[in-house]
C-alpha cells in the first residue's frame, strides 16, 4: 500500500536512479492498453477521455498501443494546455501515429459516442477537490455511457488516499493502478496493480524524493519548525554545540543546550545562535531530571546524549528522564545504553553506530541487506525507531525500513554523528520518526559528499553544518 505523497517521493527517487517520468508513462500506457484488450477482446472499439495532467498522458500513451483498434482520444482542453513535457511528447507521438483525436474545451461538446470500452484518464492522483468543468461533465458522460469503463490509476474524481468522492467520480468496471495499491482502493475487487518499472531501490533507498516530506510554507511563524533541546556536555563540549547547530541548519527555529555549569560558557562560545542553560555541577545527573522535564515541556524535541559521557549518574538521569517523558526524543551516544531497560511513553529515535547497537542488545551482520532485516526486527522488539549508522545506514521503525547510501569514508571524523543526531532532532519536530531519521541520514551524508567532492578528505564535523540546508532543500524553496 502506498499513499499519494509517498508515491510522488518514490517517483522522484526513480528519476534520480535514471528512470525518467517518460519511461514510466510509457509503461503505464502499455499496461492500460493490455488491460483494455483483455477486457474488450481483439475487436473492441475504444474511446479515451484524457485530462491535461499525467493521468491524461497515460491514456494518450495507451491509445497509441491500441492504434490497431477502432480508437479515438477526446482531449479535455488544448494540446498547449498539457501540463508536462512527457505528456506533450506522448501527444505528439499519438499525432504522428495518426490516431484520431478530438479537442473538447466546452463541456456541452463532450460526446463519448458508443464504444465498447471507455478509458477514464481524466484525473489521477493530482486531483484536488471536486472535478471542475469540463472534467465534471466528462465524468458524468462516462457514468451515463453503456461502455465498460477502465479507469487509469484511480477512478477520476476519487481521493486515492481516502477513497472519498467530493461531488462526482467515475464508477469503473476496472481500475489499473500503478506500482502499488493506494489506500482509497484497498477494499475494491476491480483493481489490478501494474508494474511500471519503478525498481525496489526507489522505495528502499533514501533519495531526493524523501525530501518532499518537509515544507516551509510562506505564512510560517517562529516556532512552527520546532524548538530543540540538547541535553549533554560535561566531559565534552563540542558535541552538544555541533548537535544544536545542526538542528538549526536542519530547520529548527530555536536550539537550546542544557549542560553542566562547568562547561556552559565554553559551549556558548561556539555560537551565538545557541541558547545555553546551565545546571549545577560537572555532569548531568539525577538531581537535574525535574528541571529537564520542566524545560522539555516548552520544547518540541529533546536530544539526549551528545558529549554526556559514560558516568553512572548521567546514565541514571537519562533513564529517569525517559521514564517520565512522553514527548519526542532522539537518543544518541552514551545515552543509548539507558534505552533497552526503560519503560517510556516518549516517541524515541535512537541513533547508534554498529557497536552501540550491539551494546543495546541489537543484532550484528556484515551484509547490509541482512542487517536491515535484523534491525527491523530489533526496532519492533524495542518499540522505537532506529537509525543504525554505517556505510549503509539502516533506518527502521519495525515496520518501514529504509537504507541510506549517501556519505563517504571521510565522515569517520569525530562529531559527524553529533551533526546527524541534531539534524534528526530538528526533523523529528516536523515529520514522522522514520521519515525524520531517513532524511537526516540522507542529508548528513550528502553534506559530507559535497565537502569531500570539493575539498578532498580531511573533513571536520563543522564543515557539514553549512552544507545541510542545501542537502535538505537543493533548489526547492
Ligand atoms: N510514478 C508516478 O507517480 C506516475 C504517475 N503517472 C500518472 O500521473 C498521474 C498523476 O499526474 P498529475 O500529477 O499530473 O495529476 P493528474 O493527471 O491526476 O491531474 C492533474 C491535472 O488536473 C488538474 N486538476 C486538479 N484537480 C482538478 C479538479 N478538481 N478539476 C479539474 N482539474 C483538476 C490539474 O490542474 C492538472 O492539470 C497518476 O495518477 C498517474 O496516472 C504515470 O504517468 C506513471 C508514473
Ligand atoms: K483516472
Q: Is the pLDDT of residue 95 over 80?
A: yes
- Give dist(CA 465, CA 330) in Å, integer: 19
Is pLDDT above 70 for 291?
yes
- DSSP per-residue codes, 195-230: --S--HHHHHB--GGGGGG----TT--TTTT-EEEE
Name the pLDDT band for 146 (thresholds 50, 70, 90).
very high
Task: Pull the grid cell for residue 36.
Answer: 483494455
Model confidence at 223, pLDDT cuts 50, 70, 90, reads: confident
Residue 477 is predicted with a pLDDT of 66
- Reply yes or no on whether the pLDDT at 192 is more than 90: yes
Tell me, using a 6 A CB cutoff, whether residue 153 lines ligand 1.
yes
Query: Is 394 a residue whose pLDDT tops 90?
Result: yes
| CATH H-level, domain 217-473: superfamily | Ribokinase (3.40.1190.20)
With a 6 Å cutoff on the Cβ, whether 178 touches ligand 1 is: yes
Bridge partners (DSSP) of residue 165 are: 158
Report the nearest-CA residue for atom 11 of ligand 1.
Answer: 54
Decide if the complex's ipTM is over 0.95.
yes
Nearest CA to ligand 1 atom 41: 55
Closest CA to 396 of 351, 358, 428, 460: 351
Q: What is the mean pLDDT of the chain?
A: 96
What CA–CA distance (Å, rounded) separates 177 from 195?
9
Q: Looking at the predicted structure, is the pLDDT value of residue 396 above 70?
A: yes
Name the residue among 95, 143, 96 with its Cα closest to residue 122. Answer: 143
Q: Determine if ligand 1 sits within 6 Å of the CB of residue 51.
A: yes
> Which residue in 237, 289, 243 sits closest to 259, CA to CA?
237
Q: Pick from 209, 208, 228, 241: which is nearest to 430 by CA?
A: 228
Ligand 2 geometric centre to CA of 301 (Å): 41
Q: What is the pTM of this model?
A: 0.93
From atom 16 of ligand 1, which residue's Cα is the shortest distance away? 126
| pLDDT above 90 as % of the chain | 96
pLDDT digits (tens, 9 = 90+) for 335-373: 999 999 999 999 999 999 999 999 999 999 989 999 999
Which of 10, 15, 55, 154 should be mutated for ligand 1, with most atoms under 8 A from CB?
55
Q: How far apart are CA 455 and CA 458, in angstroms?
A: 8
Q: Rounded to 5 degrees, what are φ and ψ at 193?
A: -100, 125
Best residue for ligand 1 mutational test, from 126, 131, 137, 164 (most atoms within 8 Å of Cβ): 126
Cα 246 from Cα 273, distance rounded (Å): 11
* Residue 417 in contact with ligand 1 by CB distance below 6 A: no
Asked if 39 and 65 count as a contact pair (C-beta separation under 8 A), the reply is no
Could you give the residue range(s) of every CATH 3.40.1190.20 domain in the chain? Answer: 217-473
pLDDT mean over 121-142: 96
- Please determine, for residue 476, whether its predicted confidence score (pLDDT) is greater than 80: no
Would you say 451 is a known binding-site residue?
A: no
Which cell numbers in the block locate residue 86?
512527457
Give the length of the chain: 477
Closest CA to ligand 1's atom 35: 53
Ligand nearest to the CA of 152: 2
Are 25 and 87 within 8 A, CB to CB?
yes
Alpha carbon nearest to ligand 1 atom 40, residue: 55
Query: Domain 4-204 carries which CATH code?
Result: 3.40.50.10260
Cβ(132) – ligand 1 distance below 6 Å: yes
Q: DSSP class of residue 339?
A: G
Every domain range in the chain assigned CATH 3.40.50.10260: 4-204
Per-residue confidence at 474, pLDDT binned at 50, 70, 90? confident
Alpha-carbon distance values, 252 to 224, 422, 430, 467 (Å)? 9, 10, 9, 15
Cα 455 to Cα 35, 188, 463: the distances in Å are 54, 55, 10
Element housing 130 (H / E): none
Q: Alpha carbon 37 to chain centroid distance?
A: 36
Atom of ligand 1 lying closest to residue 25 CA: 43
For residues 439 and 419, give the distance between their C-alpha atoms in angstroms, rounded to a whole number: 13
Whether residue 120 is annotated as binding a ligand: the answer is yes
Q: Are 321 and 289 in contact (CB under 8 A)?
A: yes
Q: Is 127 touching ligand 1 by the criterion CB < 6 Å?
A: yes
Query: Does ligand 1 lie within 6 Å of residue 213's CB atom?
Result: no
Read off the pLDDT band of 126 (50, 70, 90): very high
Ligand 1: atom nearest CA of 157 is 29
Name 35's Cβ contacts closer than 8 Å, sequence gap at least 6.
Answer: 150, 174, 176, 192, 194
- pLDDT of residue 77 exceeding 70, the answer is yes
Amino acid at each position: 500500500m502506498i499513499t499519494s505523497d509517498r508515491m510522488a517521493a518514490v517517483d522522484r527517487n526513480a528519476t534520480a536512479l535514471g528512470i525518467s517520468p517518460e519511461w514510466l508513462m510509457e509503461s503505464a500506457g502499455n499496461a492500460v492498453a493490455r488491460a483494455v484488450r483483455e477486457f474488450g477482446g481483439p475487436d473492441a472499439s475504444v474511446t479515451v477521455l484524457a485530462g491535461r495532467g499525467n493521468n491524461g498522458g497515460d491514456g494518450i500513451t495507451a491509445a497509441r498501443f491500441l492504434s490497431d483498434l477502432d480508437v479515438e482520444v477526446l482531449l479535455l482542453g488544448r494540446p498547449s494546455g498539457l501540463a508536462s513535457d512527457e505528456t506533450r511528447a506522448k501527444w505528439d507521438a499519438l499525432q504522428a501515429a495518426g490516431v484520431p483525436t478530438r479537442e473538447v474545451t466546452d463541456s456541452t461538446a463532450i460526446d463519448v459516442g458508443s464504444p465498447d470500452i471507455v478509458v477514464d484518464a481524466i484525473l489521477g492522483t493530482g486531483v484536488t477537490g471536486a472535478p471542475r468543468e469540463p472534467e465534471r461533465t466528462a465524468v458524468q458522460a462516462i457514468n451515463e455511457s453503456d461502455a465498460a469503463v477502465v479507469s487509469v490509476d484511480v477512478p477520476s474524481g476519487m481521493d486515492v488516499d481516502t477513497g472519498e468522492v467530493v461531488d462526482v467520480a467515475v464508477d469503473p468496471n476496472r481500475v489499473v493502478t500503478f506500482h502499488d495499491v493506494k489506500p482509497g482502493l484497498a477494499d475494491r475487487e476491480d483493481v489490478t496493480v501494474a508494474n511500471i518499472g519503478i525498481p525496489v531501490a526507489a522505495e528502499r533507498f533514501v533519495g531526493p524524493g524523501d525530501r518532499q516530506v518537509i515544507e516551509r510554507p510562506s505564512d510560517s511563524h517562529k516556532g512552527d519548525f520546532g524548538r530543540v533541546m540538547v541535553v549533554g556536555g560535561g566531559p565534552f563540549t563540542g558535541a552538544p554545540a555541533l548537535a544544536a547547530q545542526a538542528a538549526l541548519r536542519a530547520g529548527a527555529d530555536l536550539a537550546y543546550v542544557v549542560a553542566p555549569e562547568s562547561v556552559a560558557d565554553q559551549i556558548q562560545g561556539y555560537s551565538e545562535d545557541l541558547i545555553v542553560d546551565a545546571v549545577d555541577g560537572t555532569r548531568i545527573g539525577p538531581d537535574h531530571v525535574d528541571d529537564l522535564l520542566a524545560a522539555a515541556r516548552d520544547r518540541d524535541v529533546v536530544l539526549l546524549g551528545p558529549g554526556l559521557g559514560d558516568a553512572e549518574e548521567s546514565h541514571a538521569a537519562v533513564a529517569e528522564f525517559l521514564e517520565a517523558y512522553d514527548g519526542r526524543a532522539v537518543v544518541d551516544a552514551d545515552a543509548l545504553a539507558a534505552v533497552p531497560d526503560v519503560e517510556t511513553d516518549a516517541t524515541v529515535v535512537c541513533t547508534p553506530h554498529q557497536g552501540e547497537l550491539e551494546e543495546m542488545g541489537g543484532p550484528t551482520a556484515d551484509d547490509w541487506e541482512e542487517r536491515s532485516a535484523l534491525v527491523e526486527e530489533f526496532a519492533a522488539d524495542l518499540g522505537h525507531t532506529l537509525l543504525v549508522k554505517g556505510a549503509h545506514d539502516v533506518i527502521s521503525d519495525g515496520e518501514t525500513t529504509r537504507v541510506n547510501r549517501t556519505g563517504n569514508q571521510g565522515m569517520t571524523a569525530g562529531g559527524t554523528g553529533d551533526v546527524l543526531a541534531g539534524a534528526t532532532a530538528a526533523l523529528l519536530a516536523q515529520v514522522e520518526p522514520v521519515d525524520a531519521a531517513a532524511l537526516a541520514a540522507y542529508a548528513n551524508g550528502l553534506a559530507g559528499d559535497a565537502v569531500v567532492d570539493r575539498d578532498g578528505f580531511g573533513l571536520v564535523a563543522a564543515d557539514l553544518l553549512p552544507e545541510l540546508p542545501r542537502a535538505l532543500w537543493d533548489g526547492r524553496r
